[in-house]
Structure 1
């Protein structure tokens, strides 16, 4: 933010850039606020004027102004901003509030921002074709169907904590033109009130990654609810580990089964540290982090979703499925549908007799994009849609 003392080193750095790389290779784009005052019935340009003046005081003259507002700026307002901020009228760009963040490129293209940047920096490039992007945005804004997915986590008060997951759910609905309504559920509330009341009207359940003991029993109870009612279930990282614990307790008869992360004295540590991790005292930098290969088992939900036998996914965890309990759990319906290439690490689990029950040790949401939704999210939303409409 211009004017904050914390910003000064960065502003000074970008002020010096034209001297380092040449003025013709630098373009200053400044994002400002143009609020609409309802009682006055007008757009106010003073915040923009003052912000630009602050920049000019430290030696930066913006070339382009992106004006954040809730409506398209009329020509008169653009003229006023251009005159008092010392920029061309064509360099005053409306950055309008939109329903979906994916509309932003369409709005900026309509305002001519891309052509302005290309022309200012003398770049040689082909005109953009946003037709396919526009079709996807229209599918998000005007879906043919809608499903409700319960996202059960411990950080739901700050929804940005699960931004990658919530966006991946939106991507997952595109194939079937399905809008995804997310019902945010605090796992601690499940512990107090039970899943029967809080999850009565959902079409699927997703439990994302996380750390720590708080809310774990609520997540495990949620998984029991989804398993017993054949609700499509998707567990990611900790969500998969909770599913293993629930299956161990309910189906394999291993009462008090747990992860050694939550109960170091559990008699059945179905989730545990790898042997080589147990002697590590300083935990920093010792997680299983980044991309790792995974081999898929044929004739499983995972292989049907990916349509290939070998994949690579991103991880961020320390605890793993304890292979000492592999036979005890697979004999009770647990299916291992993805492993590390050497078969040592369990990457994906499923549950026999359930229409769609999938847990992944990795984070598939990190690789989902609007133009290339992650196949597991697409399959999950498809299963929720099938449950809702029976199609």
Structure 2
């Protein structure tokens, strides 16, 4: 029978509940337990697919095509278990399903209410499909006290009574701020947060307290006393150099031991943390450094590229080097010469994005990399911009553009209207809804034997995750290949371009999919490992 761990947050947002949940899952996994992590988000959107990256951050896509919260990326990277659409739910999705049932008459004339109908739906989601797991960790988005989160908090309160005795515990993540003028760490915010949680009927079993310096024993005793938590269950969560140090740090502070004790598991299996130490040592002791320019349009919020940042770090681990990121807003190249910005880097990566803003700057970045023989990695939109650049400059198609930006005489990139998913035809209309209408999730691709990308993968048949609405127009393939841009990867039916590369370039690859979503610290994605290796070679030439 699965045991449930509910992780809530208080005081302020952005304390790192996702990392804490992922790290705890990894620690339980290191002790031999089977774990599942799930995220309950309180916003009214059905999913984050239509939300601006500047507001929500990255949209993480699962194999089965769900657009989910970026924390699911942390869950996957820390545990290696692929997430799916049943690992993330929002208030919007819950209400959408309830209203659909009400319209069908499924409630037999009953008045539909938050309690019990909404809370029952949340509980059903939490409990569904957990038979094969030892622990299910549920992170509740938002902050205790937010009105949006109340139905979720009420639901997990009820589950504490519904489940067998000892079947669930509550971990509350809070902040202990340091007041410089007083020279003190303050416990009051945590006390108030726990008071708010207890007012709705939830007594935390463990306090995970974020602080920027060690918490004195007296302050831990104070929090234990006022928050009605065992002193050993007041766990300090100090800042660390890298997120991959978090499992080791939390184990050192006794988090996993206290969780197992709360469930009455004693003696507990000893954890096997060797691989976490190896990753930590690899990051702490690099043998060199490379600089990668990320030319994007959401650089003001790094969370918009969370998986990308981690995948580049994984590539660094694979090559024993530190990867320094140089963030460049692509619009600046539409006003200034790219050379002063890009001459000092060892590789250029143009990530995914939507809309015309900044597109010309990305095209100029691709041109700079191609002409200067600098390693270039174009992902999704970054591949499309590289193709447009090659069409304009190499193939002489002056008006080459994307229909995403408006009507075009030379639509080298255009809207997808239909494609195959397995044996089923999927269709989309230009005037249709935006949410959930892209090519989403895992699709197979066939790589050209002898191509650089096939060499990197060590295979000609791959599966990668997609999230895009536009594609390179294969009608231009012959002209582009004649100009030197090779279509090295296609969908199995030969209709959709998946990868492009330039043969006479040290490393110039564009991919329509998002390889960063499948990279892990223990298994760096081969494309990122190869890209960083090319950047290392470039650094030796400078």
Q: TM-score, normalised by structure 2?
A: 0.69
Distance 1:8 1:361 in 2: 40
Offset at residue 352 of structure 1 (A): 1.8
Distance 2:189 2:429 in 1: 57
Counterpart of 1:175 in 2: which secondary structure? helix
2:155 aligns with: 13
Distance 1:235 1:301 in 2: 15
Distance verdict in 2 for CA 1:274–1:2, change over 3 Å: closer
1:166 aligns with: 309
User: Does residue 76 of structure 1 match 2:218?
Assistant: yes
1:28 aligns with: 170
8 Å contact from structure 1 (residues 190, 198) kept in 2: no
8 Å contact from structure 2 (residues 414, 473) kept in 1: yes
Q: Deviations over 1:281-309 (max 9, x none)?
A: 31444321111001122222211221122
User: Does residue 106 of structure 1 match 2:248?
Assistant: yes
8 Å contact from structure 1 (residues 154, 215) kept in 2: yes
User: Does residue 47 of structure 1 match 2:189?
Assistant: yes
Offset at residue 28 of structure 1 (A): 1.1
Distance verdict in 2 for CA 1:83–1:46, change over 3 Å: same
Distance 2:367 2:256 in 1: 51
Counterpart of 1:206 in 2: which secondary structure? strand
Offset at residue 118 of structure 1 (A): 1.7
User: Does residue 378 of structure 1 match 2:529?
Assistant: yes
Offset at residue 249 of structure 1 (A): 0.7
Distance verdict in 2 for CA 1:278–1:97, change over 3 Å: closer
User: Does residue 288 of structure 1 match 2:457?
Assistant: no
Offset at residue 74 of structure 1 (A): 2.7
User: Does residue 190 of structure 1 match 2:333?
Assistant: yes
Distance 2:211 2:281 in 1: 22
8 Å contact from structure 1 (residues 33, 69) kept in 2: yes
Distance 2:396 2:203 in 1: 70
- The range that moved more, 331-340 or 50-59, is 50-59
1:312 aligns with: 463
User: Does residue 126 of structure 1 match 2:303?
Assistant: no
Match of 1:331 among 478, 482, 488: 482
Taking only aligned residues, the RMSD between alpha carbons, in angstroms, comes to 1.8
Distance verdict in 2 for CA 1:279–1:50, change over 3 Å: closer
1:86 aligns with: 228
8 Å contact from structure 1 (residues 364, 374) kept in 2: yes
Counterpart of 2:272 in 1: which secondary structure? coil
Offset at residue 390 of structure 1 (A): 4.4
Structure 1 segment 127-166 matched on structure 2, within 5 A: 127-166=270-309
1:366 aligns with: 517
Counterpart of 1:59 in 2: which secondary structure? coil
Offset at residue 194 of structure 1 (A): 2.1
Distance 2:265 2:383 in 1: 48
5+ long unaligned stretches in structure 1: none
8 Å contact from structure 2 (residues 417, 430) kept in 1: no
Aligned length: 390
Q: TM-score, normalised by structure 1?
A: 0.95
Distance 2:199 2:440 in 1: 45
Distance 2:411 2:261 in 1: 62
Structure 1 segment 198-217 matched on structure 2, within 5 A: 198-217=341-360
Offset at residue 182 of structure 1 (A): 0.9
* Greater relative contact order, per chain length (Cα 8 Å cut-off, separation 6+): 2
Offset at residue 151 of structure 1 (A): 0.5
1:178 aligns with: 321
Q: Deviations over 1:245-278 (max 9, x none)?
A: 0001111111121122224132x22112346468
- The range that moved more, 370-379 or 281-290, is 281-290
8 Å contact from structure 1 (residues 349, 358) kept in 2: yes
User: Does residue 352 of structure 1 match 2:503?
Assistant: yes
2:46 aligns with: none
5+ long unaligned stretches in structure 2: 1-142, 419-426
8 Å contact from structure 2 (residues 293, 345) kept in 1: yes
Offset at residue 358 of structure 1 (A): 0.4
2:137 aligns with: none
Offset at residue 36 of structure 1 (A): 1.9
Distance 1:177 1:364 in 2: 20
8 Å contact from structure 2 (residues 330, 358) kept in 1: yes
1:252 aligns with: 395
Distance 1:52 1:155 in 2: 36
Distance 1:297 1:271 in 2: 21
Counterpart of 2:169 in 1: which secondary structure? coil
Counterpart of 2:391 in 1: which secondary structure? helix
Distance 1:147 1:91 in 2: 42
